[in-house]
Structure 1
Amino acid sequence: MYAQERQQRIVERARVEGRADVAELAAEFDVTTETVRRDLTVLERHGLLRRVHGGAIPVERLGFEPGLADRDAVMTAEKERIAKAALAEVPREGAILLDAGTTTARLAEILPNDRELTVVTNAVPLVASLAVRPQITVLLLGGKVRGRTMAAVEDWTLRALADTFVDVAFLGANGLSVERGLTTPDTGEASVKRAMIHAARRVVVLADHTKAGNDCLARFGELAEVDCLITDSGLDAELAERIASAGPKVVRA
């Protein structure tokens, strides 16, 4: 098993069980405890876990949210596959909404050049690359910009969304589960995501499989409000069926 593969499994274990124990992980993966500790150090550096005595806990349990650069550096291949699959949900023309996030950013990068689209977004980093493309009209939602995610939030953003209606909203999520629905660590971003759901004819959530079964602080929607969840092939087939039974079509890219 490659180190990256092992580290991914460690994060999944920590999110499901609330903790990752060094000794148990070493026995499961048949590696030394020192190897596991190095893995935990790497994962902590990426903002995915926090080291504690004897192991690590997921940052979500601490109310901590990894920064944009940290999140952009993990699950890159999966996010690219998700973005490519999401192209099937982009209309030939009309208006779409792009939520802030590293997976939605990858969709922004590959939007086709042969479609006349209006892109509404609260993601400040997306504006520069989209605005120079002649076939795309960009509407940036104003508001207070969170430094951690570079997303516009709070009252100005919500007021603009109240007067907005798009064909498709592409949203990210830090956590999703059948029991808790769609969640994120920040209450301000949760309010904006909730308003985005109400501003769209169809809702498509882009989230890699490590978000499944993970619950964060603030809920912003139910799975029944989602038309399509696009994730990666790492999502367990049984869990995919449970999610689909709650409402959305599930695509495993």
Structure 2
Amino acid sequence: MARPFEKIAFISSATEESDLARQRLEKQYGSIPAEQADVIVALGGDGLMLQTLHRYMNSSIPIYGMNCGSIGFLMNEYSEEGLLSRLDKAEISEIHPLHMSALTADGKLHEALAINEISVFRQSAQAAKLEIQIDGKIRMDELICDGAIVSTPVGSTAYNLSAHGPILPIDAPLLALTPISPFRPRHWRGALLPNTARVKLVVRESKKRPMSAVADHNEIRSILEVDITEAPQNSCKIMFDPEHGWTERILTEQFRY
């Protein structure tokens, strides 16, 4: 019986460690161009995984990461033995990115997709002032802060977690809205939103308090407002070993002390 993942493409980040790992794995398992593969094995850290997910979004090719980098929350443990069996047993999750539409001070509209999060940051020494709208209704007329994050479940363990936001199960139909260093209201810790919500962040006093918007690694400066929604028409697939899957990872992370 044919295996479901016989045709493998290996991709490595630009480090000596990951390049050598790719060469050894290609020698052992063979390799074909990613566009012709049943599965893509990404060798590196979370940055490479995000780049690969973006590059092959909507291709239906699942991505299996093995950690050869400094950060690997999205990656499986590195091992050269038994890879075909691990791929056969891996759990596949389909994830949807966020869509950002950002209006800038020059009147231009910029669009981008984010697998992890969309963030807005102050550009100057002045604290930012944001108006927060959810589905067209003003929920907070003024948040004074360094910025704010709207995160997917995948991104909830990244910058969102560092800003004390909640960790979300990968299949949860939720988004996390988390403030960055809130000053007023000082004790507001953010909100959990349904993944169908439309989030609009409006910059107040934009000339005095300029802000940038970042969708994963795509930065737009001098924004006036940002619309954020989930993009269900776009998807990518990520694979985890069952004994070290996403559910186990988020439980482990939440019970660290």
Which structure: greater strand fraction? 2
Which structure: greater helix fraction? 1
Larger radius of gyration: 2
TM-score over 0.5 for the pair: no
The structure showing larger relative contact order (alpha-carbon pairs under 8 Å, at least 6 residues apart) is 2
Q: What TM-score, normalized by structure 1, do the two folds share?
A: 0.28
